[in-house]
Chains A and B, each alone.
Chain A
Amino acid sequence: MSKYRNLLIGTAIAAFAAMPAAAGQFGLGRAALPEEVAAWDHDISPDGTGLPVGSGSVEDGEMVFSENCAICHGEFAEGVDNWPKLAGGMDTLDRKDPLKTVGSYWPYLSTTYDYVRRSMPFGAAQTMSDDDVYAIVAYILYSNDLVEDDFVLSNENFLEVQMPNAEGFIVDDREESEKHFWTEPCMENCKEHEVKITMRAAVLDVTPDHGGEDMAEEAAAEPAAEPAKEEAAAEPAKEEAKQEAALDPALVEAGEKVFKKCKSCHQVGDGAKNKTGPQLNHVMGRVLGAEDGFKYSKTMKEMGEAGTVWNDETMHAFLTKPKDFVSKTKMSFAGLKSDEDIAAVIAYLKSHSQ
């Protein structure tokens, strides 16, 4: 431990002693109610502190995972596109490009439960029951070959699960292992060999375009061009106004706000592309499951093939409880609670469907 660090700790400990014994010097804030603490205090520690009572099986987990997680993480937790892989990668940590998964890297199982319960699924966090979370965690363990297919995970046996990389971590040791970085730097003749370029970023060519100078003129021109565009747009706007007569602009605007909840998976508007969910231009009036290039659930596809069309009624039913309307839909969103929000989103989608 360096002198500097000792000094820091010394100061902090001296400061501890100076702390006033009595709390509430300013009398600000109010006492937290037990219900409030219970609603927010969900963290789970490696020793199991904070684990809720409950259980879930690998078998149930497979289904819950498939419905809620597989769209990003893959049916077998192998990961889709750039989304995290949750399984595999055993014995790769000392190789080039290690694959860090729950199985190969995460030291504590508590972390998986804690994270899934508070932050997953992406776009619908905190919507799963404690038992479903146990089931998902059990399934992730199974995907990593850490438990058998008849395994049931519960708060009772949680600490018995051995994580392969539990012993794979050391506490920051830079002040020891990198002690030689505290030194008197060389100023002259610091390299005996001829200095040569050994690698160039331009060869790899992975830097996004528009990185700076070359963009300056284009970027500067853009704001100037803006008013011109608006003028040009003025006339066709009249035409559009006729078509949109039925749409309440305030409702469309409200819908745009509500749509923020959908944005993590869906794009709409100019240049919208399929992402985690399909792009939604012209979705209203289209049959279900009809966007080219998007892999829908079988149910959604079949409903479309049977002629079901997205209209006020069907969209309202879907957005109220997606899984009730299209069982097995890949959309992990739990649904919108208020009818007003649903009407607004439908109006917003209609504004992009003309």
Chain B
Amino acid sequence: MTVRFKGKAPSRRAFLKGTLASTAGAIAGAGAASAATPDPLITEKQSWAMGTGDGVDATPYGLPIQYEGDVIRRNVEWLTADTISSINFSPIHALDGTITPQGCAFERHHSGAIELKKEDYRLMINGLVDQELIFTYEDLERFPRVNKTFFLECAANTGMEWAGAQLNGAQFTHGMIHNMEYTGVSLRTLLEEAGLGKAGDLKDKWIYVEGADASSNGRSIPMEKALDDVMIAFKANGEALRKEHGYPVRLVVPGWEGNMWVKWLRRIEVTDQAVESREETSKYTDTLENGTSRKWTWVMDAKSVVTSPSPQSPIKHGHGPLVITGLAWSGRGAITRVDVSKDGGKTWETARLANPGQPMALTRFYLDTTWTGEEMLLQSRAMDETGYVQPTKHMLREVRGENSIYHNNCIQTWWVKANGEAENVEVS
């Protein structure tokens, strides 16, 4: 389905309203504050300290507490013709750590999220294999199992920002991403079970994978990758995949664009050529300035974004200690370093990685700093283990122009103002 990457006409009225409203957070002086009057939350007995809360039978499966009701997936209505074939965004501005809870991990469907029972699930392996096979869900559970954590990023993440700063929030500019711990079976194990003798020389062979939904979202993957680290996953973050992420079984293609992670996986065919399906020709190809398009741009380049402060997560406290935090990832391997700039890329300081980078998984970074109300042009810049350095938008445009739609991994700038609010901007 068409995803539109152009904005509507600017509305000056709405913009003015936005600026005049909300002077977020009173700015207090530096140093430990002193209270003039005792805090009634402490001096008065509170209802929750006197009565009782919910029993253990109140919530057999829990959702976040009501006060976190704004930490949800959101969609951008004007992007697509219909929500059935559309995308929403993970609330990365409000999350911390690296694991994305399934319930707020972004969704992208081409024919809607279908409901497919485990009992009705079948996986076919056919084509150039020694024995064409059918597996049930139960069969899959009997193969040796693996557990791995990977990010999934849609190739169109940040795609609306090619021509300029457009969407005002990390959720919308960078939220087509999630990171989960998958449990499943190595694809290699299944291919070996079917036998690859008939395929002959594997170097020029492919697999074609498709889903059980109406879109089927077929994609071709080179055999080299298929035998390297691709997984057939049935659990994410310890529990069954959610319907919207392909229950009961999806493909996991570490480091490669999300569209290849076929949901409701029903068939794997070993072939001697790429099928050149709709999703790998008309979509997910990157048109350069001269009109030529790159195809097979599978790997996701190293990328990072400051998740807080950011437009949806302004600074609401006073001057003094400030935690700047964000996410970094690379489809080529582990993140080795993240630098942060407060002056729009003139000077950089190296942030602290919460944990050593893991290959093709999200890495959380922190810059523990002091803020005294100065404006900042906040940026982050990721480096991965291959030595790749996340480029500026200018550098990307020099090579690719502005029509690529996909694979925009540019350095993002948030303009943090004196009142703590932040806005998505582009800088010289």
A contact residues vs B (CB 8 Å cutoff): 2, 4, 8-9, 11-13, 15-16, 19-26, 28-32, 36-37, 40-41, 43-47, 49, 72, 79, 81-85, 93-94, 96-98, 100, 102, 105-108, 110-111, 114-115, 118-119, 122-123, 125-126, 168-174, 177-178, 180-191, 193-208, 210-216, 219-220, 222-224, 263-264, 275-276
CB distance from B296 to the nearest CB of A (A): 5
Given contacts A45-B273, A190-B348, contact A93 B192 (CB under 8 A): no
A213 touches B195 (CB 8 A): no
CB distance from B51 to the nearest CB of A (A): 17
Given contacts A41-B126, A264-B84, contact A32 B133 (CB under 8 A): yes
> How far is B272's CA from A39's CA once the two chains are assembled, in angstroms?
21
A185 touches B267 (CB 8 A): no
> How far is B216's CA from A156's CA once the two chains are assembled, in angstroms?
27
CB distance from B325 to the nearest CB of A (A): 16
Say which one of B96-104, B176-184, B244-252, B284-292 lies at the interface with A: B284-292
Q: Which of A98, A114, A203 has the largest number of chain B CB atoms within 10 A? A: A203
> How far is B426's CA from A207's CA once the two chains are assembled, in angstroms?
16
Closest 3 CB pairs of A and B: A23-B195, A212-B312, A94-B291
**What class of interface size applies to chain B in its complex with A?**
35 or more
The dominant DSSP class at the B interface is loop
Residues of B within 8 A of A203 (CB): 10, 15
Residues of A within 8 A of B343 (CB): 195
Given contacts A45-B271, A47-B273, contact A204 B164 (CB under 8 A): yes
B74 touches A115 (CB 8 A): no
> How far is B81's CA from A85's CA once the two chains are assembled, in angstroms?
12
Nearest residue (CB) in A for B333 is A4
Q: List 5 A-B contacts (CB under 8 A).
A: A43-B275, A83-B81, A187-B348, A206-B8, A216-B69
> How far is B110's CA from A118's CA once the two chains are assembled, in angstroms?
13
Select which of A4, A181, A211, A264 is within 8 A of B74 by beta carbon: A211
Given contacts A115-B277, A182-B387, contact A19 B196 (CB under 8 A): yes
Residues of A within 8 A of B172 (CB): 207-208, 211
Known: A181-B301, A208-B76, A212-B70. 16 other contacts (CB 8 A): A8-B224, A9-B224, A12-B224, A43-B275, A93-B292, A107-B276, A111-B277, A168-B293, A172-B295, A185-B381, A188-B348, A189-B347, A190-B348, A195-B343, A195-B428, A212-B313
CB distance from B285 to the nearest CB of A (A): 7
Given contacts A119-B214, A177-B399, A178-B399, contact A43 B70 (CB under 8 A): no
Nearest residue (CB) in A for B426 is A199
Proximity bits, B145-176, A CB within 8 Å = 1, else 0 = 00000000000000000001111110110000
Nearest residue (CB) in A for B8 is A206
Q: Is B259 among interface residues, defined by CB-CB distance under 8 A?
A: no
Q: Which of A122, A187, A188 has the largest number of chain B CB atoms within 10 A? A: A122
A29 touches B193 (CB 8 A): yes
> How far is B15's CA from A200's CA once the two chains are assembled, in angstroms?
11
Q: Is B43 among interface residues, defined by CB-CB distance under 8 A?
A: no
B403 touches A96 (CB 8 A): yes
A186 touches B348 (CB 8 A): yes
> How far is B345's CA from A186's CA once the two chains are assembled, in angstroms?
9
Residues of B within 8 A of A107 (CB): 276, 281
> How far is B68's CA from A215's CA once the two chains are assembled, in angstroms?
11
A206 touches B7 (CB 8 A): yes
Say which one of B30-38, B135-143, B363-371 lies at the interface with A: B135-143
B403 touches A23 (CB 8 A): no
Q: Is B131 among interface residues, defined by CB-CB distance under 8 A?
A: yes
Proximity bits, B278-321, A CB within 8 Å = 1, else 0 = 10011001010111111111110100000000011110100000
A208 touches B77 (CB 8 A): yes
> How far is B387's CA from A13's CA once the two chains are assembled, in angstroms?
24
Proximity bits, B194-231, A CB within 8 Å = 1, else 0 = 11110000110000101000111010000011011000
Given contacts A21-B197, A25-B192, A108-B276, contact A41 B267 (CB under 8 A): yes
Nearest residue (CB) in A for B298 is A172
B297 touches A198 (CB 8 A): no
A46 touches B276 (CB 8 A): yes
CB distance from B399 to the nearest CB of A (A): 6
Q: Is B59 among interface residues, defined by CB-CB distance under 8 A?
A: no
> How far is B7's CA from A199's CA once the two chains are assembled, in angstroms?
14
B218 touches A43 (CB 8 A): yes
Nearest residue (CB) in B for A216 is B70
A199 touches B164 (CB 8 A): yes
B339 touches A25 (CB 8 A): no
B193 touches A205 (CB 8 A): no
A206 touches B78 (CB 8 A): yes
CB distance from A87 to the nearest CB of B (A): 13
> How far is B65's CA from A223's CA once the two chains are assembled, in angstroms?
10
Q: Is B424 among interface residues, defined by CB-CB distance under 8 A?
A: yes
Proximity bits, B320-360, A CB within 8 Å = 1, else 0 = 00000000000011000001000111111100000000000
> How far is B126's CA from A31's CA once the two chains are assembled, in angstroms?
10
Given contacts A84-B1, A94-B289, contact A223 B10 (CB under 8 A): no
> How far is B396's CA from A192's CA once the two chains are assembled, in angstroms?
20
Residues of A within 8 A of B69 (CB): 216, 219-220, 222-223
Nearest residue (CB) in A for B385 is A4
CB distance from B297 to the nearest CB of A (A): 4
Q: Is B263 among interface residues, defined by CB-CB distance under 8 A?
A: no
A19 touches B4 (CB 8 A): no
A170 touches B292 (CB 8 A): yes
Given contacts A122-B111, A168-B291, A185-B348, contact A193 B82 (CB under 8 A): no
